[in-house]
Structure 1
Amino acid sequence: MMDHAPPDSASSGEDDRPDLSGPEPAAAFGALFDRHANHLHRYLANRAGAAADDLLSETFLAALQSRATYDPSRATARAWLFGIATNMLRKSARLGARQQLAVRAAEGLPERVESHEGRVAEKVDAQTRTQQLAVAIERLEERDRDVLLLSSWAQLDSAEVAEALGIPVGTVRSRLHRVRRQLRVEAPKVGE
């Protein structure tokens, strides 16, 4: 089931721009892990399922290895870590991602119809809509899919998505607008 808990208000901002350049990064990375691991894990689990644990570990390992490239004046640690996590996801493209996305999304849908037949029909309709959406998301260009999922699943704002992906904020906003319009066309509700 997808978890869309809002990010911790202390997760972003000026207090999330640590100096990671020191010779002993353990304390700084321990604090980063404590602060961001749960939210990163939810994002990774929504995108990669059971591989989230490994991807989270790989994300922090990559962050540790590339800490010299982190520039606190350019991005918060949160945005930097989500950028690394997104790159880890790109590197570990999974077979059957469409089906996993459809199953996870369908499991989280509430049942609103009282009769058994109605519940079955509603579930089938929901699965069909979810599959249409999953196919439409899968067809997106990787850069558009990353912007959409960082925004919707990781709940990064446009500035944080821009920081995470190293692109201008205006590009993030225009991609989100275009992707949402495209998804409305490609994955309409069943029965409309």
Structure 2
Amino acid sequence: MPVLRKKAEFAKDPAAFETFYRRHVDDITRFLARRVDDPHQVADLVADVFLAVLDSAHTYRAGLGSEVAWLYGVARNTLSAERRRAVQESRLTGRVGGRRQLDTDDLTRLEERIDAERPARRAFQAMTDLPEGERAVLELVVIDQLTVTEAAAALGIRSGTAMVRLHRARRRLQALPLVMEGTPG
């Protein structure tokens, strides 16, 4: 039985990953089925485990144990993370479930807020076809009202790059005045 020796064997090679997956999918499915009784959750967790394997392949060291032991460790960590997430979701649901019902005044205020934000929603919609970098700068400057320098810092890019992306985005969206409101000239 071939074993995992280094990350490059399967993390970068789809055929090698498929071989690795086929070799271990039944073991991981059994491992999770012993711990979870919902078949949909088991299927999701199996997928999550193999995604985590791709992300953490660099951590495998053959001298520290078998690939199955390492893989079970990844599965345990994935299952633990899912259980933590489920507990958090349960707590949040409990907190939200204990909230009072909205009265007419609350609904009116929310409707007013939603109406007030309509231009921003239209702006977001108009921006969906922009390249990611241009859209990110435009959102931060136009909708979130950051300066170009602040937007650049938030995105981890240089101010000059942000200005170029903002200019390109503005040029693409010239026909949509509501998007251009608030953009620096």
Q: TM-score, normalised by structure 2?
A: 0.40
Choose 1 or 2 for highest CA Rg: 2
Q: TM-score, normalised by structure 1?
A: 0.38
Greater share of helix: 2
